[in-house]
Structure 1
Amino acid sequence: MAERTQLSVQRMAQTLADQFPILLQAAAGTGRRALAEFIALCEEVLSCVDSPTRTTPDSLAQFIGARDADVMNHDETTRAIMGTESLGTLRRQADNASSQAAVALARPNLPPAVSTSNGPVHLPDLLRSLTVEAALLADHCGTTLDRAGTAQCLRAVASVLGERFPGHTIEVRVPPFAAVQLGSLTAGPVHHRGTPPNVVETDTATFWALAIGTLSWTQAREAHRLRVSGVHAPDVAQMLPIVRRR
């Protein structure tokens, strides 16, 4: 990797690692399954960073889509880790897995692309995807990621939205963390410079809830949690949710 890219990857890796204490504490207070899901997340980090590949990687949207489609395998992995272990045993395992994964993410020369059970992926996209997974687990445990983790998660989700619906007709804004331009699902103006005439703006909590399907577009509009302008802006309702809630 070029030096600038390597530094960017290291920051992303550190951001993911910084979420582990938050998740560990929340999972321990939630129960055995949450701890097993946290262990699975850490074990995936360990497995992937030791599996470099030269196979052409999937895009972020392809990779997250593959993970969403593989929810049954995700559940089987979680159940296998959980087994009949006590809460205390799982907590000790989670402590160890967290420490090992954090050390792995701190390595100075991580591979540019890795092999995973859901296909090959660029390392930055793996880190983005796992941060989304971390946010899903945090949501399940009734907590949130820190500011940097939230930013990394929401930018990843916005990138997936932009990849799935490319274009420059609609702009979705989630200040201060993310903004993405999208194409309309119907015939819309082709916009080349500046801000598109169709804009959707919302806060981070609303965007995340829309992204994982815990809040509908109609509910968000009725609660005045969306600022929508332009005839094509409501097309975004048909692009949601973006990721599947575990």
Structure 2
Amino acid sequence: MPPAQRKSRSRKYDPATVRGALNAEVRAVREAVAVMCAAGDAPQLLEAPTRLQGWSVRQLIVHIAMGLETLPRLLAERPAPARAELDLQGYLRSMRGRSGDIAIAGTAVVEEDALPDEGGPQTVVARLDSAAERLAAALAEMDGRTVVTTRFGAMTVDDFLVTRLLETVVHGDDLTAATGAAIGHERQALAAVTRLLADALAAEAPGGSVEVRIPPFAVVQCVEGPRHTRGTPPNVVETDPMTWIRLATGRMSWDAALDAAEVSASGERADLSAQLPLLGRP
């Protein structure tokens, strides 16, 4: 059965919480971009490279805008599907199945030459603001049970909004890495993205021999082998939410995280280098 069609047991996310978290994340990114683009060296910053191979800061910001515009565009498409065929874990499995085409942890596959490499700072700000306003207008009117056709299959708006949260958090971190712009990630946004990617690990490497702890948001068991039932697990991996997100999306390697003491791993099976990243490398 194709990845997009396999049954999975996706965690449910409270729609109101997801919408509030997405609004907060978008606002934080917009504020950071506005401050950056008001600086005297903004033209040079827009040309700076990012950790997404071949992409400048300008192209990254425009891609963020394009990601925000995806839902309003899908809602405008008619006829709408009759029912959803894809849940969140099915969506992530489809992304992994296309990892050769996906160079970023997002949902839109964009050719590099489709991203503009011209336009001054205020043009970039206006592009992002327009996309955010289009999304906000759509959020104010949409029913979360509405089904839209994504590039991987039909899914509900409520589920698709979680993928927008994933993309906004990850690309916000990409922007910080490239420019030093301080983006304060909203707590519920980090919680949702952390849990989404932790569940993806458990689905990708099912088992009970390793316990992965990402306090305060998630604990999952994974990897085939003896299942732990009582006491302290023999194989434990622990890290913080942002490090986990970077590991899962290929922004940080397993070895680099260990060397920097940003992840702890105890036990002979507590090596996730074979399972990570879960999504395509940048």
Structure 1 residue 197 corresponds to structure 2 residue 234: yes
CA gap of 1:79–1:39, structure 2 versus 1, over 3 A, is: farther
- What do the CA deviations read for 1:90-120 (whole angstroms, capped 9, x no partner)? 3223212211202322446223542112333
1:191-237 Cα offsets, whole Å, 9 max, x none, are 45776432111122322232233333223323333332332222x22
Assess, with a 3 A threshold, how the Cα gap between structure 1 residues 67 and 114 changes in structure 2: closer, same or farther. farther
Distance 1:111 1:79, change over 3 A: farther
Superposed displacement of residue 20, structure 1: 0.9
Q: For residues 74-113 of structure 1, what are the structure 2 equivalents within 5 Å?
A: 74-76=109-111, 79-80=113-114, 82=116, 84-107=118-141, 109-111=143-145, 113=147
- Other-structure match for 1:56: 85
Instruction: Report what 2:264 is aligned to.
Output: 227
Q: Structure 2: give runs of 5+ residues left out of the alignment.
A: 1-10, 37-44, 47-57, 177-181
Aligned mates of 2:98, 2:29 — CA distance in 1: 20
CA contact 1:136–1:245 (8 Å) conserved in 2:
no
Give deviations 1:49-73, integer Å, cap 9, x for gaps.
Answer: 4555325215142243256444377
Shift in Å at residue 25 of structure 1? 2.7
Q: How far off its partner does 1:37 sit?
A: 1.3
Contact conserved, 1:49 with 1:111, CA < 8 A, in 2?
A: no
Aligned match of 1:43: 69
Cα separation, 2, equivalents of 1:7 and 1:240: 24
The residue matched to 2:238 in structure 1 has which SS? strand
Counterpart amino acid of residue 109 in structure 1: D
8 Å contact kept, 1:14–1:106: no
TM-score where L is the length of structure 2: 0.71
Q: CA RMSD in A?
A: 3.0
Percent sequence identity is 29
- TM-aligned CA distance change 1:7 to 1:229, over 3 Å: closer
Write the distance in 2 (CA, Å) between the matches of 1:128 and 1:194: 34
Could you tell me how far apart the structure 2 residues matched to 1:110 and 1:80 are?
A: 30
| AA at the equivalent of 1:179 | V
| Residue 124 of structure 1: how far off its partner (Å) | 4.2
Q: Unpaired segments of 5 or more residues in structure 1?
A: none
| CA positional deviation for 1:85 | 4.0
2:256 alignment partner AA: Q
Q: In terms of mean alpha carbon deviation, does 17-26 or 59-68 score higher?
A: 59-68
Deviations 1:162-214 (A, max 9, x none): 11111222110110012211123xxx213457764321111223222322333
Tell me, yes or no, if structure 1 residue 8 matches structure 2 residue 37: no
| Aligned partner of residue 236 in structure 2, secondary structure | strand
Partner of 2:6: none
Report the CA distance between 1:7 and its aligned residue.
Answer: 8.3
Instruction: Give aligned pairs, total.
Output: 237
Which structure 2 residues correspond to residues 205-220 of structure 1 after superposition, within 5 A? 205-220=242-257
The answer on 1:237 being equivalent to 2:273 is yes
Instruction: Tell whether 2:14 aligns with 1:19.
Output: no
Does 2:160 align with 1:120? no
Q: Distance between the aligned counterparts of 1:220 and 1:96, measured in 2?
A: 37
The alignment's TM-score, normalised by the length of structure 1, stands at: 0.80
Residues 144 and 158 in structure 2, CA contact (< 8 A), matched pair in contact too: no
Contact 2:249/2:277, CA 8 A, preserved across alignment? yes
Partner of residue 71, structure 1: 102
Partners in 1 of 2:73 and 2:190 — Cα distance? 24
CA distance in 2, matches of 1:216, 1:166: 21
Aligned position for 1:171 = 211
